Structure 1
């Protein structure tokens, strides 16, 4: 298979043609995806995408990175997208493409030890990838849905819903300058559509080394519609940018990722109560933004910190990506560049003949 290296601004030709195009390399490097006029490559290959700072959208049929227009949620041009450890498919709530996914999960099913996971290599796992030629019998494909970073803060539903005060989250500010510790302490007049008036307790810290300040209380009336809450000011706001939490029915969104333009993210605190959690109670890697996710959320393509070095290790599980009558097999084989930079994701894929 030809090796391609893709990023959000350029498409490199197959390695077999690189020497022939060497004289024009500067011109090619300056071209955007829309500038490339050569015929599409076969639906398959190995690719590397730089998903360091933003979502990178890939059309598997065209073997190219594309720019969704006007937004990813309104564009059918892409099939799969990458941002750090997140993977999104263009279907369900994520986009109009009707793309769905299924995990064969041949490695995860064996439940390997940490040592066995770490021994897996791209070369060693290629035979498994190559051997899959048809969709397994009984495969159930799923589409992407909103996966909020904040969940589990309510118990039950409808008129019997209650707060879950032991569900504590750290929430990063939208401008990333500090963070808050938050939990819900009470609900007033919940209904089937809304938790009613939500009472939260929260406290602020200017940075990861600062202690939390005094505990504050706020009440957010969600019964009258979705509300954006600014943790810094302690007020509900109509600003499109200056907020951290959006209470929308029983869904709580953060101002980041799929839900907003900011840098907010949340980390659930599992081993501490609201009173005892301190800034040192979690690590930066625990914070997550809202994403649209399906199979890549329920069956993650990586394991974290297997060797105690905070590294991402691929599972080398094979996924099936379906769009209309086309089905592709896909295997993520690396999360690091040749120089060790993270969030540079390499995957291989091929269209099944069925």
Structure 2
């Protein structure tokens, strides 16, 4: 644990015994892109066993901080500490957050409410998800070096044996190869952010003329009150920096009635000229309604300068979710596939480690629910330093899933 100090060699030896750092079993897997979003990570979390196979149950990586040879980028004679950490995140049945301060090599004990405003933690873990502290005084940002390209073939499909045979020791050279000169421009780093399911994605903005127009090619599927509706902006007019009107095309699918396809599109025009309050649309009836009615979409009424009208954003009701249908391609939604389609609430977090996943899932038929580290080397930038960071296992300690083993070093 954190109080126990081990030399790096002991850590690596422990990791070599772990399946996730080189476990047995061969076979191929269903192709998956290395850059795909972890949209189904919640489903993965519930599928992952609460304990690893017996072959890893005796392995252990203790949280430690030991001096390793100085990075080749260092001009100092003093070795830069290589820190190895073990952090548990609970079980699939009882997941828990683990908050960590890279600058002080400290695990912080925080409630979720405390962590929401705490400025000290840099990175947090909760089962298969990893979070950056975007609300720190200086937001924590990260960059994916792409060192693990050889884990994927030309079509971006994972090469099963690469993941199965990779170990902490075999991937250490990739970690060591990242030096200070590898740090890209600050603009290359990104952080976690909140994103609206629809928000302002329904229109186009001309940077030259500064004119906003509806983009009917950008459609969204909204799930609300047990039914689905395809929604797109067909036309809009503006007054200064506000919308004076917007016409939505709404195609409704009545699931309760047994519909499997969308009905014919109905136009719903929202008049926002001199509005005195927020505007509301009920997708089931394809009508504008009041705040006291059963509405699905709301448009804020705002005053900007001398103009009063609608804000250029569409917000979902608290019980509604949505996905983009940019083609648009959906003619109807199969309710049985709903949980795999990535429906999101009005505001959701877009995680850096969701865009650049740290793991590969289902690459070994012998361990179908096992999470293998991609051994990507990430750069994590805090207010005071830039660290190289690599996850070596998800099954540290006694082999239980959700226990991360990772290493990091200041550049």
Would you say same fold, with TM above 0.5?
yes
2:374 counterpart of 1:315: yes
Q: Superposed, which structure 2 residues align to 1:1-354 within 5 Å?
A: 42=65, 44-50=84-90, 56=97, 58-60=99-101, 61-64=105-108, 66-69=110-113, 72=116, 74-81=117-124, 87-91=130-134, 94=135, 96=137, 98-108=139-149, 111-112=152-153, 114-117=157-160, 119-121=162-164, 124=167, 127-128=170-171, 130-131=175-176, 134-135=179-180, 136-138=182-184, 140-150=188-198, 152-157=201-206, 160-173=211-224, 178-190=226-238, 193-200=241-248, 201-206=250-255, 210-211=259-260, 214=263, 216-220=266-270, 231=283, 244-245=296-297, 247=299, 249-254=311-316, 262=318, 264-269=320-325, 273=329, 276-279=331-334, 283-289=338-344, 290-293=347-350, 295-302=352-359, 314-332=373-391, 345-354=402-411
1:278 partner SS: coil
* Gap change, CA 1:292 and 1:283, over 3 Å in 2: closer
* Cα deviations by residue, 1:2-23 (Å, 9 ceiling, x for unpaired): 799xxxxxxxxxx9xxxxxxxx
1:145–1:293 CA contact under 8 A, matched in 2: yes
State how far apart, in whole Å, the 1-side matches of 2:316 and 2:96 are.
17
CA–CA separation in structure 1 for the residues paired with 2:267 and 2:336: 22
Q: Relative to 1, partners in 2 of residues 1:229 and 1:329: Cα closer, same or farther, differing over 3 Å?
A: farther
Deviates more, 1:263-272 or 1:46-55: 46-55
- TM-score normalized with structure 2 length: 0.54
Q: Distance between the aligned counterparts of 1:68 and 1:213, measured in 2?
A: 41
Residue 45 of structure 1: how far off its partner (Å): 0.9
What is the CA–CA distance in structure 2 between the aligned matches of 1:118 and 1:268, rounded to whole Å? Answer: 35
Please tell me the root mean square deviation across aligned C-alpha atoms, in Å: 4.9
* CA distance in structure 2 between the partners assigned to 1:148 and 1:331 by the alignment: 30
Larger RCO, structure (CA 8 Å, separation 6 or more):
2
Q: Deviations over 1:60-81 (max 9, x none)?
A: 3422452244672x33243234
CA distance in 1, matches of 2:147, 2:333: 40
Question: 1:85 and 1:246 mapped to 2: Cα distance?
Answer: 34
Structure 2: distance between partners of 1:335 and 1:171: 35
Per mean C-alpha deviation after superposition, the further-off stretch among 62-71 and 179-188 is 62-71
Secondary structure of 1:142's aligned partner: coil
Please tell me whether the aligned partners of residues 281 and 298 of structure 2 are also in contact (alpha carbons under 8 angstroms).
yes
> Could you tell me whether the CA contact under 8 Å between 1:303 and 1:315 is conserved in 2?
yes
Q: Which has the larger radius of gyration?
A: 2
Deviations 1:185-225 (A, max 9, x none): 32322367445433221414447975357555434467868
TM norm structure 1: 0.61
Q: Alpha-carbon deviations, 1:123-169, whole Å to 9, x = none?
A: 52554355356442325323333333337432335863332333332
Q: Distance in 1 between matches of 2:283 and 2:396?
A: 37
- Matched with 2:54 is none
Unaligned runs of 5+ in 1: 5-14, 16-39, 256-261
Instruction: Check conservation: 1:57, 1:67, Cα contact below 8 A.
Output: no
Gaps of 5+ in 2: 5-13, 15-62, 66-82, 301-310
- The alpha-carbon distance between structure 1 residues 75 and 229, as it changes in their structure 2 partners (threshold 3 A), is farther
